[in-house]
Homo-oligomer: A and B are copies of this chain.
């Protein structure tokens, strides 16, 4: 009968060491070639002990993203755009927050994205996160709509779909890593693109 115990089974401390190791490796390698045994080694435990905490690679990856959010305060940052006065400002603020956020999560995102094609659990986890991010897009578009500043070109749902797609991590990857755009350039252009497409003229 445990009393003074650490509230949760399996030792929280070790669990955190695992998550920290996982995150570190994922960030360092941009998601490539990170095996369970690598993570175990860095966490200072045996590979098998890893499975006592996370029964599957996908599960560990998912837990790592949650851990990352906890550390970086994702939700706070992405919802800070709510304080904006106008819809236009809100759109800008959201793109700004998201644009700065991407590089921080890129490593783990890449790993999850790679698993998405083969592992259902990973796919679901990833889709959940992206759905949350889509909510942010939706909120920004609705703010525009409330201000009566949404371009008549698109119904709100379509504008949301488009904005969401525009801001995808794959697109960030292509523009910055493949095309060599700087982080500032990416953010500026995305803001301009969004403004021009979703904000009513004049």
Which residues of A are in contact with B by a Cβ distance under 8 Å? 31-32, 110, 113-114, 117-118, 153-154, 158, 161-162, 164-166, 168, 170-171, 174-175, 179, 181, 189, 192-193, 196-197
Contacts and interface: CB of A to CB of B under 8 A. Distances in A.
A196 B154 CA distance: 12
B165 A117 contact: no
Main secondary structure of the interface of A (DSSP, over half): helix
A114 B113 CA distance: 9
A136 to B, nearest CB: 16
Nearest to A160: B179
Contacts of A161: 175, 179, 181
A114 B115 CA distance: 9
Nearest to A175: B165
Contact of A171 (B154, B168, B192): B168
30 contacts: A31-B117, A32-B117, A32-B118, A110-B117, A113-B117, A114-B114, A114-B117, A114-B118, A153-B192, A153-B196, A154-B189, A158-B189, A161-B179, A161-B181, A162-B175, A162-B189, A162-B193, A164-B174, A164-B179, A165-B171, A165-B174, A165-B175, A165-B179, A166-B166, A168-B170, A170-B170, A170-B171, A171-B171, A193-B197, A196-B197
